[in-house]
A = this chain, B = another copy of it.
């Protein structure tokens, strides 16, 4: 059975549909990469699937509590140390140790540094380590490799592969090549809602008045 199935989904942002007619399924051990130009609605789609906003149309089917979402922002507290930040999310998700996650993303040496003093790439690695302590099977990742250098991108590839091997799945929005040749691609460009101009479909409040 697939872990996530999306059928004829339309997503809306700022009162307007941005993308529509999106359908795909995600099976265990598979990764799907979302592509498309800026503003096409990748972030919006991920947020909709994560349950942060309602879909404008269509269905999302998934097992409850199986999704882990990693956004553009990492949700780090700069006053807390790396270990404290990670331990917090671990106890929220009921996981036990954080050592495996720290070492998987090469953060062990930084465990006691306040998160505010990390460089952008290190922060991002900490944000990804959070995924490992959620224990969730389906990862929704929004541009996970932003500000990572080449070595860190390779590390990230390993982490993803390990996750897929253990029966996980991942939906990744990205502009760059992630070094995951086995992953499928989904280009959102053809799904742009009602191609510009006067017949754009309003959503939400505007729908009633449009």
**B residues in contact with A147, CB < 8 Å:** 38
Give residues 28-45 of A contacting B (CB, 8 Å): 38-39
> Could you say how many copies of this chain the assembly holds?
2
**B residues in contact with A38, CB < 8 Å:** 147
Complex CA distance for A39 and B149, rounded to whole angstroms: 12
Q: Shortest CB–CB separation between residue A189 and chain B, in angstroms? A: 15
Complex CA distance for A120 and B38, rounded to whole angstroms: 11
Q: Shortest CB–CB separation between residue A192 and chain B, in angstroms? A: 14
Give residues 161-206 of A contacting B (CB, 8 Å): none
Query: Residue of B at shortest CB range from A119?
Result: B39
* In the complex, the 2 A-B pairs of residues with the closest C-beta atoms, listed nearest first: A38-B147, A39-B120
Q: Shortest CB–CB separation between residue A31 and chain B, in angstroms? A: 27
Complex CA distance for A120 and B37, rounded to whole angstroms: 14
Query: Residue of B at shortest CB range from A38?
Result: B147
Q: Shortest CB–CB separation between residue A33 and chain B, in angstroms? A: 23
Chain B proximity mask over A137-158: 1 for CB below 8 Å, otherwise 0: 0000000000100000000000
Q: Shortest CB–CB separation between residue A133 and chain B, in angstroms? A: 29
Query: Residue of B at shortest CB range from A37?
Result: B149
Complex CA distance for A120 and B147, rounded to whole angstroms: 22
Q: Shortest CB–CB separation between residue A182 and chain B, in angstroms? A: 29
Q: Shortest CB–CB separation between residue A17 and chain B, in angstroms? A: 16
Complex CA distance for A168 and B100, rounded to whole angstroms: 58
Q: Shortest CB–CB separation between residue A32 and chain B, in angstroms? A: 27
**B residues in contact with A120, CB < 8 Å:** 39
Chain B proximity mask over A87-131: 1 for CB below 8 Å, otherwise 0: 000000000000000000000000000000000100000000000
Complex CA distance for A132 and B120, rounded to whole angstroms: 35
Give residues 57-101 of A contacting B (CB, 8 Å): none
Query: Residue of B at shortest CB range from A117?
Result: B14
